[in-house]
Amino acid sequence: MNQRRFFVPTAMVLGFVFLYAPIVSLIVFSFNKSKLVTVWAGFSTQWYGALLQNDQILQAAWVSLRIATLNATAAVVLGTIAGFVIARFRRFRGRTLFTGMVMAPLVMPEVITGLSLLLLFVAMEAALGWPAGRGFLTITIAHITFSMAYVAVIIQSRLSDMDESIEEAALDLGARPAKIFFQITLPIIAPALVAGWLLSFTLSLDDLVIASFVSGPGSSTLPMVIFSKVRLGVSPEINALATILVAVVAIGTIISGIFLARQRRARERDMQMAKADIAD
């Protein structure tokens, strides 16, 4: 008993140190005065200032943000359609194949996804002349292909939890299917849509491998710039940039977590209501 009381917290502390010590040291050293990353020379925010002067980084950040936003929006639209089809259209030819294909990008190695997309874009350019060259557009398309799968999973799981008779009731009251989708289904699953958007946004902001395959000149994303800079040695500037990225991703994750929790609470409430309803 005593041993356990000692062991569990220790294991937990060690685990957290292992996971978060690198990030904490990165954040701490981003406020270092010295140019040497490993030597502490006093507090300073000069590297954040330097960051704002660095056009290359600012441009890459702007590219990344635009790609992430566009990607998240498109992925939510397509992923919602895919998730809706999987959850609501129970019987159609090729349903299993469709479901498998939608979910496949989740388990596909990034290198394979990146390489195959690169080959596709090259072939398409040769055959159709579109997309012309590689860059902003191809990265966005590539990100949508895998973000969509995540959104589809989130939406599908939310829809299969939702009481289908709610949609039937709307149908019964005279609303047409398309109207029901927009007036009943979408508002009910809205928290899942927001969570899916934020998840897609962070996935896109994080991605290095796929973007490296399908990017072209002048369209380097932020992770690509960081990666290429680090190969020339770690500078405190990169620490500052990474700190900002950690903050952005953390905020995104927390907000999406709040929405998912709210959705879970709503679902629990639904279930409780249903249980109270079924309970004799």
User: b/e per residue, 33-62, with b = 16+ CB within 10 A?
Assistant: eeeebeeeeeeeeebbeebeeeeebeebbe
Q: Of 41 and 169, which CB lies nearer to other proteins in the complex structure?
A: 169
Which sign, positive or negative, has the C-alpha torsion 22, 26, 32, 35? positive
Answer for which of 188, 203, 224, 260 binds other proteins (CB under 8 A) is: 188
The CB-of-277 to other proteins minimum distance in angstroms stands at 4
DSSP code for 133: S
Residue 27 touching other proteins (CB under 8 A): no
Q: Containing H/E element for 89?
A: none
The CB-of-188 to other proteins minimum distance in angstroms stands at 6
Hey, what are 47's tokens?
């590297």
Cβ neighbours, 10 Å, residue 139: 29
Hey, what are 56's tokens?
């290359």
The CB-of-32 to other proteins minimum distance in angstroms stands at 50
Residue 25 touching other proteins (CB under 8 A): no
Residue 178 touching other proteins (CB under 8 A): no
Answer for which of 1, 97, 126, 276 binds other proteins (CB under 8 A) is: 276
Hey, what are 232's tokens?
């020339």
Task: Say if residues 56 and 219 touch (Cβ distance below 8 Å).
Answer: no
Question: Which residues, 139 to 168, sit near other proteins by CB under 8 A?
Answer: 163, 165-166, 168
Contact region with other proteins (CB under 8 A), list: 23-31, 127-135, 180-188, 256-264: 180-188
Hey, what are 171's tokens?
């149908």
Residue numbers of the site for other proteins (CB under 8 A)? 163, 165-166, 168-176, 179, 184, 187-188, 266, 269-270, 273-274, 276-280
